[in-house]
């Protein structure tokens, strides 16, 4: 059992809380989709026939966009990607599997000729990053670069660089 604001949380309550976490149409995903729409890009969502079921697909540009939660996809050196202190063996295995599955999906997409873009949740929490994101997307989407990550380099607790180099 864990604590939340000094109260003990039962296993059943914790299970219900974890079950309520959405895998699709999250706030970060909706933010990215809103921005893409405002920039005039048209897209498809969660294409099941593509490896990894990308969150956003721009078929015209052969681009698959993943909007990753920093915890669930273990964003390296990010303050939101903290390993839980309870049931460490389970979480370690689960989060490593998520990370590996992401790598495999991106590799498969690239073999099929798709370009990939990963946008991390922490990039959408920073006002400075959000202001730069439209320009970065406008530069990357019509380009020929194969892969990008936003943000690419992250220091603990802060966004260090937003380079889109492949």
Of residues 16 and 114, the one with the higher pLDDT is: 114
Q: Are 164 and 136 in contact (CB under 8 A)?
A: yes
Q: Tell if the pTM clears 0.95, that is, is over it.
A: no
Predicted local confidence at residue 162, as pLDDT: 34
155 has a pLDDT exceeding 60: no
Q: Provide the pLDDT for residue 163.
A: 33
The torsion angles phi and psi of 67, rounded to 5 degrees, stand at -105, 105
CA atoms of 151 and 161, how far apart (whole Å): 6
Q: How confident is the model at residue 103 (pLDDT cuts 50, 70, 90)?
A: very high
Domains and CATH numbers, the chain: 23-161 (3.40.960.10)
pLDDT tens, residue by residue, 47-61: 889 999 999 999 999
φ, ψ at 126 (rounded to 5°): -100, 125
Contacting residues for 64 by C-beta, under 8 A, at least 6 apart: 47, 50, 52, 54, 56, 57, 109, 114, 115, 116, 117
């Amino acid at each position: 059992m864990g604590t939340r604001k000094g109260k003990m949380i039962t296993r059943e309550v914790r299970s219900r809380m974890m079950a309520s976490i959405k895998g699709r149409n999250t706030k970060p995903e909706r933010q990215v989709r809103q921005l893409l729409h405002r920039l005039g890009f048209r897209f498809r969502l969660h294409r099941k026939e593509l490896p990894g079921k990308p969150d956003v697909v721009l078929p015209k540009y052969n681009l698959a966009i993943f909007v990753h939660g920093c915890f669930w996809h273990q964003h390296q050196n990010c303050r939101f990607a903290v390993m839980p202190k309870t049931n460490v063996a389970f979480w370690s295995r689960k989060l490593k599997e998520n990370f590996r599955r992401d790598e495999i999906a991106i590799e498969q997409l690239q073999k099929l000729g798709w370009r990939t873009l990963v946008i991390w949740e922490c990039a959408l929490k920073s006002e400075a990053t959000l202001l730069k994101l439209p320009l970065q997307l406008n530069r990357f989407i019509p380009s020929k670069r194969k892969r990008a990550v936003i943000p690419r380099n992250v220091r603990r607790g802060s966004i260090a660089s937003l380079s889109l180099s492949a």
